Structure 1
Amino acid sequence: MDITLLTIVGVLLMGALAATAGALYAQFYSPSAFVGRYLAMLGEGRAADALDVPGVMVSSVDLEDAGLPATASDALLRPAALAGLTEVAVVSEEMQDGVAKVTVSYRAGAYPGTTTFRVERNGWIGVAPAWRFAQSPLAVIDLTVHGSMQFTVNGFELDKRQVSAAGAEADPAAAVPMLVFSPGVYSVSVDTAMSATPGVAVLSDSPQAGIPIELQAQPTEEFVGVVQERVDQFLAECATQQVLQPAGCPFGYTVRNRLDQLPVWSIAQSPVVTVEPDGAGWRIPVTEAVAHIDVDIKSLFDGTVYPVSEDVPFRFTGSITVLPDGTASIVVSGEQ
């Protein structure tokens, strides 16, 4: 009976130890636990720790092999650009050809999502297996912002010239590739004195995926007001020229006789300026206004002098180029 009892106790102890070992493995040493620790780091905003997880960081060669831009910036791989990650739960774990496929569900900000990670063996920690990502969980946002060199991602402010491989020579209309963590939600918006947009949010839920985003900023009221002021100043300066065809100006007057005195111009009806996106810059669409001329004309036929006081309607357009220092160059031209 003693031997039987000892045997039973031994079996129970072995079972308890096996169950404990299994629980410890599942909680700390399994592929699911490995993925869970990575997601916990993202949820806590520990970007640097997440990047140190084996298999997360990628080289330019890795990006090229995945069909992604090799020059993708790492500017968003920091705590300031991370959004909340909550309600993380392992959905399944499947081992196939030495690679574990771990599927998890979560909520990234306000968006629910599901992602499958590929995990492989990476040596041992004592008697327990260690793991690494067989495929990096990083992805690439390919961002094109029209109408602004500055933008924000999850409230983190960036400039195209900071993250583009071309640096200060960055093409304002070109896409900017940026590495991001998966999973994660990234809200892109523009809010400058010149332009703004309500923004767009995307969910990065696939490792080593390319995520194209195109955003068109709209001119702010402040910017339109500045353009209106500059155009009014330009037309007022045109009106100071005492010639029939003011140089570089969108209005003029033609006579077949001789002038008895220099003409006097004024702006009878100021234009109401609007601003529209135009590729990497802006433009003033065809706009109407009215100038007024006062001049005395002397007839070539009989020498009679008669006064002319006449409204001169005209139309103009304008191009607006944003300069590297953030100022705008406005060029107004006449429209027939």
Structure 2
Amino acid sequence: MSERLSPTRVAAIWAAALVLLAVAAVSVIILVNHTVFGPGQKVRDFQAHLAAGEGAQALGLLNATVPEGNGLLLDGDGLRAASADVKDFTVGKPEPIPGSGKVVQVTASYTVHGTAQQTSYSLQSAGRRWLFFDRWAFVPSILPAVEVSANTTNAVDINAMPAPLENGRTTVPVFAPSVINAGFETPNFAADSRGMVVTDPNAQGTEVKLRTEPTKALVEEVNGQIKKYLDDCASQQVLMPASCPMSYSTSARVNADSIHWSILEYPQAEIVPYNGEWALRPLTVKTRLKVTEQDLRTGASAERSIDEDFGFTAELQASTTKARVVPVASE
């Protein structure tokens, strides 16, 4: 026959069960408060909006002011492109900021092209919801802005999207983290700057200065014009071809029909920036002159072959699509 529990014992069992339930409830509340409503989750939600290209939601969550500039990386395809290389995003434990009241710092770790990076966010307590759960909000801030500059062009591509320039510059507000790939390519000039990472949510004055380089097509065009110029010089059957670097002086009598210039080695153009424009470094051509000379005293004739180097300079007149080489002097 089973022993009947006394009312006191039954009450004690119920009290213990209620205590266990209360402890379990408190544990669940603490866990949910930390994982679902904690500041770290705000950071995760923010990064999820960036990856999805949801700029309005990210901006509203971040509580940030947008500086003036081209907003092509703040929403849609531009935002997704700026966030695509951010991988393995994890959020660390919130750390109180001493002397700041109810403000904590949350540091996110991630990789960009395999390189470890970090971004720290400041969040502040914003009261409670449903009595038990904390509310957190990002501390108001101003979005970072990146200034992209370039010469020889009036537009660049930023993350594969066209961006016009004004006086060679444009300002692009971005979220943090963002990866900036800037560049341009025209028939004659190109520049490329890839993989710059904006990690600081409060960064201002970040610059991307595109280093313009001549394209292979421009170098080939310039070398072609130089070759034609020198070939025209070599076709002249005179000892001093007009407007050309080569010349030959002799006291002997020379029959013009015996004069034959040839180019042994053409110069290779080196295009360099100079005073905000483009210039050619001094050029040197290797030549051979074959000529028959008659000694004025003896009347004897002799065939001669003279190899000589001649230096000259040339002006380069180049735009993004056209180029003209103008030889200007001999040395």
TM-score between both structures, scaled by the size of structure 2: 0.68
Cα distance in 2 between the residues matched to 1:201 and 1:26: 34
RMSD value over aligned CA atoms?
4.7
Secondary structure, counterpart of 2:109 in structure 1: strand
Change (3 A) 1:255 1:158: farther
Aligned to 1:157: 160
1:111-153, Cα deviation, whole Å (9 max, x unpaired): 21122111235687776525234334x4333445567766655
Cα distance in 2 between the residues matched to 1:140 and 1:108: 19
Secondary structure, counterpart of 1:97 in structure 2: coil
Q: CA deviation at 1:37?
A: 0.8
Q: CA deviation at 1:34?
A: 0.8
Aligned to 1:80: 81
Aligned to 1:276: 271
Cα distance in 2 between the residues matched to 1:185 and 1:40: 16
Change (3 A) 1:74 1:330: farther
Aligned to 1:182: 176
1:285 paired to 2:274? no
Match runs of 1:112-123 below 5 Å: 112-121=116-125
Q: CA deviation at 1:268?
A: 3.4
Aligned to 2:27: 19
Change (3 A) 1:134 1:11: farther
Aligned to 1:99: 103
Cα distance in 1 between the residues matched to 2:171 and 2:155: 15
Change (3 A) 1:331 1:46: farther
1:181-226, Cα deviation, whole Å (9 max, x unpaired): 3223434556665456785533322122243444535444333212
Change (3 A) 1:7 1:286: same
1:70-112, Cα deviation, whole Å (9 max, x unpaired): x5x3333322343322322222213432322111212233121
Aligned to 1:298: none
1:232 paired to 2:227? yes
Secondary structure, counterpart of 1:29 in structure 2: coil
Change (3 A) 1:218 1:200: same
Cα distance in 1 between the residues matched to 2:109 and 2:227: 58
Q: CA deviation at 1:47?
A: 4.5
Mapped contact 2:191–2:211 kept (Cα < 8 A): yes
Aligned to 2:312: 316
Change (3 A) 1:178 1:323: same
Is there any run of 5+ residues in structure 1 with no aligned partner, and where?
61-70, 296-305
Mapped contact 1:145–1:216 kept (Cα < 8 A): yes
Cα distance in 2 between the residues matched to 1:83 and 1:212: 21
Aligned partner letter, 1:141: V
Mapped contact 1:246–1:252 kept (Cα < 8 A): no
Cα distance in 2 between the residues matched to 1:322 and 1:196: 13
Cα distance in 2 between the residues matched to 1:323 and 1:196: 12
Cα distance in 1 between the residues matched to 2:55 and 2:318: 34
Question: Which one of 20, 28, 43 corresponds to residue 35 of structure 1?
Answer: 43
Mapped contact 1:120–1:134 kept (Cα < 8 A): no
Is there any run of 5+ residues in structure 2 with no aligned partner, and where?
1-7, 292-300
Change (3 A) 1:43 1:290: same
Aligned residues: 308
Q: CA deviation at 1:229?
A: 1.2
Cα distance in 2 between the residues matched to 1:228 and 1:234: 10
Change (3 A) 1:323 1:106: same
Q: Give the share of equivalent positions with the same residue, in percent.
A: 20
